[in-house]
Amino acid sequence: MILYPAIDLKDGKAVRLLRGDMEKATVFNEDPAAQARAFVEAGCEWLHLVDLNGAFAGQPVNAAPVEAILAACPVPAQLGGGIRDMATIERWLDRGLARVILGTVAVENPALVREAARAFPGQVAVGIDARGGRVATKGWAEETDVDATDLARSFEDAGVAAIIYTDINRDGAMQGPNVEATAALARAVSIPVIASGGVSSLVDLIALRDCGAGLNGAISGRALYDGALDLSAALAALRG
């Protein structure tokens, strides 16, 4: 299982939100590229990037820090937030991004997800962010009636590289991930699933790894910044 350190970008800085609330942002690093380098030096194999402003704006906003991270780090990175048309997808992949994450458009324009997955095999992931099992879009600001598992199943034959499942109520709250819901989603589809939201300790990571659903990875942010989770130790444990 791959551990993805998260770098969430707001106004050019690396921050963490509490349950997706932009008004509850904690700045952890003024230099996101330096933060990314620190994660790489600790041994991470991937980076998970989110353009928070872009998720609300519907287009890239934090392009400069993302490009700085890509230039500074040799490991692959995936990015979500404000990627809602083919031109933006192509532009990011051309700039060296390994994988784009499509969230809002997975609900509003699933045909685009399928088109992108065909055009860029292995480089398109679907982000499914949910409260109480229902999908939220546009930076988690809009609730829908779409069931998270139903949405995941709808892309079963689309060729997407992964599904990133976030339990919004757990995100940034340091209360542990929703292992049960994440495992249930992973069992419902053959697409690799990456867990996100609430991963705050080595115990959480091991619980996800050993849940029996074959999770492909887990994303952690605040716990790494707060020191509750030591990245080097976590990576060693997962490899072991």
Positions marked catalytic: 8, 129
What is d(CA 108, CA 69) in angstroms, rounded to the nearest whole number?
29
- 233 CA to centre of own chain: 21
Place of tokens 């997808």: 89
Q: CA–CA distance from 39 to each of 10, 43, 47, 105 (Å)?
A: 19, 7, 8, 30
Contact 91, 82 (CB under 8 A): no
Beta-strand relationship, 13-18 and 2-10:
antiparallel
Query: Could you tell me if 135 and 184 are in contact, meaning their C-beta atoms sit under 8 angstroms apart?
Result: no
CA distance readout (Å), 48 to 6, 32, 51, 113, 218: 5, 12, 10, 19, 10
